[in-house]
Amino acid sequence: MKARLSPKTFVFCAAMIAYAAIIVFPLYIIVATSFKPNAEVFRNTFGLPEGLYLGNYSSMMGRSHFGAYLLNSMIVVGISIAVVVSLSSLASFILAKHPFKGSRAVYAFFVAGLIIPIKLGTISILMMTIGLQWNDSLVSVIVVAIATEIPFGVFILTDFIRMIPEELSNAARIDWASEQGIFLRIILPLLSPPVAAVAIVTFIPVWNDFWFPLVLLKSDSVRTVPLATALLFGQFQTNYGFVFAALTMASLPVIAFYLAFSKYFVKGIAVGGLKG
Amino acid sequence: MDLPSRIQAGLSPACRSCLRDIPPGADSRLHEDELLRRLLNPIWGLFGSYPWLGSEKTALLTLSLAVSWQFIGESILFYAMGIDGIAPELLEAARMDGASWWQEIAHVIIPGILPVIGIVSLLIFKGDFTQFDIVYAMTTTSGNPAYKTDLLGSLFYRTAFASPVRGGWGLGMGAAVSTLICLVVSVGVVAWLYFFRIRNKERE
């Protein structure tokens, strides 16, 4: 087939390439700068690194506690994804397939959590964590992350479960399956695309979250990656190569996770949400 | 998501898959905001020797460009899904009736994605009124220069958590600011709900 390149297509492609450049260029700078010693950063700011300097990475892993920060972030993200996925799939199953008196209100409550920003309750959350003696520990950040992300999970999964035909469950009921059995053997296997969407939509904001770690965490040993990288910028002096090595390490998991799950991400949201 | 495949059938498959793999602002936030500040540095920045963040005239504008940059990815994702959800029959019917490219967009696609436009606007509205990360990274919480970039989010942080020397007023004042933000956001949400009520009634 002959390639068709109308002016329309050309303009469209040019716009898309420009957009891709806007997205990719910052990533290029982050990675390129992380391989430069600090002196070179000022001399050769935006070019390719002159040599492959690994000192930033070695000092990051050795001198600072960056490994510990990475581990903290992974603990927060891992636990919150697991809890969000399991709790919201259970809740959505009941909301979609076993409506009870007031279930619409419960659903509306979840959706309200989607719209009203949790940041506004920061002070009450801070008071609560102090009251529960969770302040300055990862537990507080994890609990907040779970509470923030469950509404989206319920929103997506309820819509999706509603679309699963009732005949499937009825067929199992004829074979004397319990409701737990129906959930585990019939609904759950069908949920993998939306669950992947929920997982990735939980991953990105929780990994990037800066506000709640900043407010709730104090000591060095519990810092998450965004908080730690923000504190690398000194008031008078900043080791840019080092900072950008940290930024590379902080961005890698997100990009890897996104690329691995992007297919499910788009599919899950397209199926689940946004139906008006 | 086959981004605009229905509008642009003439795109090569390679180009299409390339579009699909762009992380939509996957890791925006803090990381690249620091980077932006660096790009804008008047001494060795990319955009000349003008102090984009230091001048009272351009600081807020520069900041809002960075914030737009943060939102562009997810907005494109939502729009792409909305456009993907438009029934192909509708577009085909429009084409049969001899609609031009522009007419197709104005009379089929835009009415079809109105709900998405609503959701995206609401998300950005809400995100802007609680914006903190980017302000913090680019111009700190004291709204430099001369409070020109002081947003409600940074005001909230400063009043509630900063030391008195840096403008902290204590948790009570912080709670007052967050109540104010809550009011503003609720106005937005109510406007959005109202708009949708009307839209849905019209459809029925």
Summary mean pLDDT of chain A: 83
Residue B137 forms contact with A (CB below 8 Å): yes
Nearest by CB to residue B31, choosing from A30, A117, A266, is A30
Nearest to B74 by CA among B26, B118, B32: B26
Task: Provide the ipTM.
Answer: 0.77
Instruction: Note the pLDDT tens digit of each residue in A87-97.
Output: 999 999 999 98
How far are the Cα atoms of A91, A231, B85, B113, B117 from residue B82, in angstroms, in the given order?
27, 40, 5, 6, 9
pLDDT of residue B48: 63
CA distance A194 to chain B (A): 15
- Counting residues of chain B whose pLDDT is more than 90, the rounded percentage is 4
Instruction: Note the pLDDT tens digit of each residue in A222-266.
Output: 889 888 888 777 656 667 788 888 888 888 888 888 788 777 766
Q: Residue type at B61? A: L
CA distance B57 to chain A (A): 24
CB pair distance less than 8 Å for A116 and B136: no
pTM of the model as a whole: 0.78
Residue pairs between chains A and B whose CB atoms are closer than 8 Å: 146
Q: How far apart are CA A186 and CA A73, in angstroms?
A: 34
CB pair distance less than 8 Å for B8 and A210: no
Residue of B2, B27, B29, B193 for testing the chain A interface, max A β-carbons within 10 Å: B27
CB pair distance less than 8 Å for B8 and A9: yes
CB pair distance less than 8 Å for A270 and B22: no
pLDDT of residue A119: 87
Q: Residue A119: list chain B partners with CB under 8 A.
A: 130, 132, 153, 156, 178
Instruction: Note the pLDDT tens digit of each residue in A214-227.
Output: 989 988 888 898 88
Q: How far apart are CA A96 and CA A99, in angstroms?
A: 6
CA distance B99 to chain A (A): 16
Nearest to A156 by CA among A132, A186, A192, A123: A192
Q: How far apart are CA A181 and CA A176, in angstroms?
A: 9
For the record, the structure tokens of A131 come out as 């009251």
CB pair distance less than 8 Å for B22 and A208: no
Q: DSSP letter at B150?
A: -
Positive or negative, the Cα torsion across B55, B61, B67, B68? negative
